[in-house]
Structure 1
Amino acid sequence: MADISMNKARVMIRKALQKGRELELKPLSVVVLDAGGHVKAFEREDGAAPGRFAIAQGKAYGAVMLGMAGTAQMQRAEQQGYFMNAVNGVYGGQVIPVPGGVLVRDKRGVVIGAVGVTGDTSDNDAICAAFGIEQANLVAEI
């Protein structure tokens, strides 16, 4: 199974933050999780709220554990709230089903992790996460 190297994780974070500054977004926090949902790397920009780690992790954790990016999770929550409530019961309330949790796939399409970004609107967070992933020569699923 492919894995996200520390180098690739750092590229994803650096480029996601760069995109946020380019778009003049609020201070961001970015986490990279491996395929098992474990933290590979995390950074919080100066000025970002201290509680942002849990939000970034929740966005990414839901994506990797369900194999479903944040946008799809939000749609599912809107259509079948009972499902996402059950999922959060199973995962101890750790899933935040909104855009900004982006799946990371290798070139063969295998899920190798997820990136969670928080700090601005969920849609802007997802844009930054996808940019970071693509700059690391991996495939983003928003």
Structure 2
Amino acid sequence: MIALEQAQKMIDVALETGASAGWKPLSAVVLDGGGHVLAFARADGAAPGRFEIARAKAYGAVMLGMGGKAQMARAEAQGYFMAAVNGIYGGQTCPVPGGVLIRDNDGLVIGAMGVTGDTSENDAEAALAGIAAAGLTGES
């Protein structure tokens, strides 16, 4: 289980990671193991539509049990499969880096974090920093 305090810490650190690096304004969401939103924040200047992108990145990760990098590789190798999965989930997934699985100390998936706003690789880096700061393990 991810505590609200941990979710907020992940988001704060992810947004600060982007700001410190001079990246474009980030938005970040943390979902629980069932794909439900625990916390969200959008940095000043971030586009208002970023919530849905961040949520879709995280939702795909938690529902498929694979991070955004793995999803993107799967989409490149088997585009028809990932298109079908996106249809199954009502268009709610975004198979690119920035959707990061959250694992507990036993290695169990307990949620996912989605970050968006800069390059997908930078988004994933910010998510991993936030997850680590909360004492958990990220898998991008």
1:16-27 equivalences in 2 (<5 Å): 16-27=14-25
**What secondary structure, in the 3-state scheme, does the structure 1 residue paired with 2:72 have?**
helix
Structure 1 regions of 5+ residues with no counterpart? none
Measure, in 2, the Cα distance between the counterparts of 1:122 and 1:74: 11
Q: Given residue 38 of structure 1, which amino acid in structure 2 is its aligned partner?
A: H
The match for 1:32 is 30
- 2:120 alignment partner, one of 95, 104, 122: 122
Measure, in 2, the Cα distance between the counterparts of 1:115 and 1:17: 12
CA-based RMSD of the aligned residues comes to: 0.4
Structure 2 regions of 5+ residues with no counterpart? none
What is the TM-score of this pair, normalised by structure 1?
Answer: 0.98
Aligned residue-pair number: 140
Percent of residue pairs bearing the same amino acid type: 66
The match for 2:10 is 12
- 1:96 alignment partner, one of 94, 97, 115: 94
* Structure 1 position 85 matched with structure 2 position 83: yes
- 1:70 alignment partner, one of 52, 68, 71: 68
The match for 1:136 is 134
The match for 1:50 is 48
The CA deviation string for residues 10-61 of structure 1, in whole angstroms up to 9 with x for no partner, is 0000000111111110000000000000000000011100000000000000
Measure, in 2, the Cα distance between the counterparts of 1:49 and 1:13: 17
Measure, in 2, the Cα distance between the counterparts of 1:132 and 1:78: 28
Q: Given residue 87 of structure 1, which amino acid in structure 2 is its aligned partner?
A: V
How far does residue 78 in structure 1 lie from its aligned partner after superposition? Answer: 0.3
Tell me which stretches of 4 or more aligned residues in structure 1 moved more than 4 Å: none
Measure, in 2, the Cα distance between the counterparts of 1:119 and 1:51: 10
Measure, in 1, the Cα distance between the counterparts of 2:33 and 2:65: 10
* Structure 1 position 112 matched with structure 2 position 110: yes
Measure, in 2, the Cα distance between the counterparts of 1:50 and 1:128: 19
**What secondary structure, in the 3-state scheme, does the structure 2 residue paired with 1:137 have?**
coil
